[in-house]
Structure 1
Amino acid sequence: MRFSTLLITAGLLTGLATLTQAQTFTDPGAYNNFIVSEQRAMLKKNLRYISKSAHSDNEKKIDAKRQDLIKQTEASLNKVAKMPAFKDDKGFKEQTTEAFYQLLKVYSEDYKAVDMMAATRTATVENMEQYFKLQEIAEAKLQVVNDSVDAAQRRFARRHNMTISADPEGKRLAEYMRQVSEVNSYQHKVYLAQFRIEKATAKLTDALSAQDPAAFEAARVQLVGDSKTATTELTAIPAFRGKDARYRDAARNLVKFYAGFAATQAAQMKELLERKDALTKADADKFNGFINLYNTQNQKLAQAYNQAGNAFQATYIPVFND
Structure 2
Amino acid sequence: MRLFTQVASVYLLAAIARPAAAQAPAQDPGAYNNAIVAEQVDLLKKNLRYISKAAHSENDRKIENRRLEVVEQNKLALSRLQHLAAFKGNDEFRLAAIRAFKTTLDVYSADFKQVNTLASTRSDSYEAMQRFFDAQEAANKKLAVVSDSVDAAQQRFAKAQGFSLSTSRESAKLSAYAKAVDEVNHYQHEVFLPYFRLQKFTARLSDALNAQDAAAFEAARVAVGAEADKTAAELAALPGFRGKDMAYRNAARDYANMYVVLCANQFVQMAELMKNKDHLTKADVQTINGHIATFNQQRQKYNDAYNRTASAFMDTYVPVMND
Do the structures match in fold with TM over 0.5?
yes
1:9 maps to a residue whose letter is R
Name 2:317's counterpart in structure 1: 316
Matches within 5 A, 1:146-185: 146-185=147-186
Q: Distance in 2 between matches of 1:263 and 1:113?
A: 42
Name 1:127's counterpart in structure 2: 128
User: Could you list the runs of 5+ residues in structure 2 that have no partner in the other structure?
Assistant: 1-8
What does the per-residue CA deviation read over 1:249-285, in whole Å, with 9 as the maximum and x for residues that have no partner? 1111111001211222112212222222221110011
The two structures have a TM-score, normalised by structure 1, of 0.93
Q: Distance in 2 between matches of 1:104 and 1:122?
A: 28
Name 2:53's counterpart in structure 1: 52
2:224 maps to a residue whose letter is L
What does the per-residue CA deviation read over 1:141-182, in whole Å, with 9 as the maximum and x for residues that have no partner? 111111111111111111111110100000000000111111
TM-superposed deviation, 1:88: 1.4
Name 1:188's counterpart in structure 2: 189
Name 1:197's counterpart in structure 2: 198
Name 1:3's counterpart in structure 2: 12
Name 2:213's counterpart in structure 1: 212
Name 2:276's counterpart in structure 1: 275
Greater Cα offset, 135-144 or 288-297:
135-144
Q: Distance in 2 between matches of 1:13 and 1:163?
A: 14
Q: Distance in 2 between matches of 1:8 and 1:288?
A: 72
Q: Distance in 2 between matches of 1:281 and 1:167?
A: 75
TM-superposed deviation, 1:198: 0.6
Conserved in 2, the CA contact under 8 Å of 1:200 and 1:222?
A: yes
1:232 maps to a residue whose letter is A
Name 2:76's counterpart in structure 1: 75
2:310 maps to a residue whose letter is G
Name 2:3's counterpart in structure 1: none
TM-superposed deviation, 1:244: 0.8
% identical aligned pairs: 46
Name 2:252's counterpart in structure 1: 251
Conserved in 2, the CA contact under 8 Å of 1:14 and 1:29?
A: no
Conserved in 2, the CA contact under 8 Å of 1:200 and 1:220?
A: no
The two structures have a TM-score, normalised by structure 2, of 0.93
TM-superposed deviation, 1:117: 1.4
Matches within 5 A, 1:27-106: 27-106=28-107
User: Could you list the runs of 5+ residues in structure 1 that have no partner in the other structure?
Assistant: 18-23
Q: Distance in 2 between matches of 1:173 and 1:190?
A: 26
Name 1:143's counterpart in structure 2: 144
1:277 maps to a residue whose letter is D
- Secondary structure in 2 matching 1:36: helix
TM-superposed deviation, 1:66: 1.0
Q: Distance in 2 between matches of 1:120 and 1:227?
A: 24
Conserved in 2, the CA contact under 8 Å of 1:5 and 1:39?
A: no
Name 1:235's counterpart in structure 2: 236
1:8 maps to a residue whose letter is A
What does the per-residue CA deviation read over 1:182-237, in whole Å, with 9 as the maximum and x for residues that have no partner? 11111111111211211121111121112122222222121111112111210210
Q: Distance in 1 between matches of 2:106 and 2:297?
A: 48
Conserved in 2, the CA contact under 8 Å of 1:5 and 1:36?
A: no
TM-superposed deviation, 1:308: 0.6
Q: Distance in 2 between matches of 1:278 and 1:14?
A: 93
Name 1:21's counterpart in structure 2: none
Q: Distance in 1 between matches of 2:304 and 2:56?
A: 17
Q: Distance in 2 between matches of 1:14 and 1:138?
A: 39
Greater relative contact order (CA < 8 Å, ≥ 6 in sequence): 2
- Secondary structure in 1 matching 2:127: helix
Greater Cα offset, 115-124 or 229-238:
115-124
Greater Cα offset, 36-45 or 214-223:
214-223
What does the per-residue CA deviation read over 1:290-312, in whole Å, with 9 as the maximum and x for residues that have no partner? 01101111111111111111111
- The CA RMSD measured in Å over matched residues stands at 1.5
2:84 maps to a residue whose letter is M
Query: Against the structure 1 CA distance between its residues 75 and 220, is the aligned structure 2 distance closer, same or farther, given a 3 Å change threshold?
Result: same
TM-superposed deviation, 1:14: 4.5
- Secondary structure in 1 matching 2:124: coil
Q: Distance in 2 between matches of 1:161 and 1:59?
A: 48
TM-superposed deviation, 1:13: 6.2
Name 1:221's counterpart in structure 2: 222
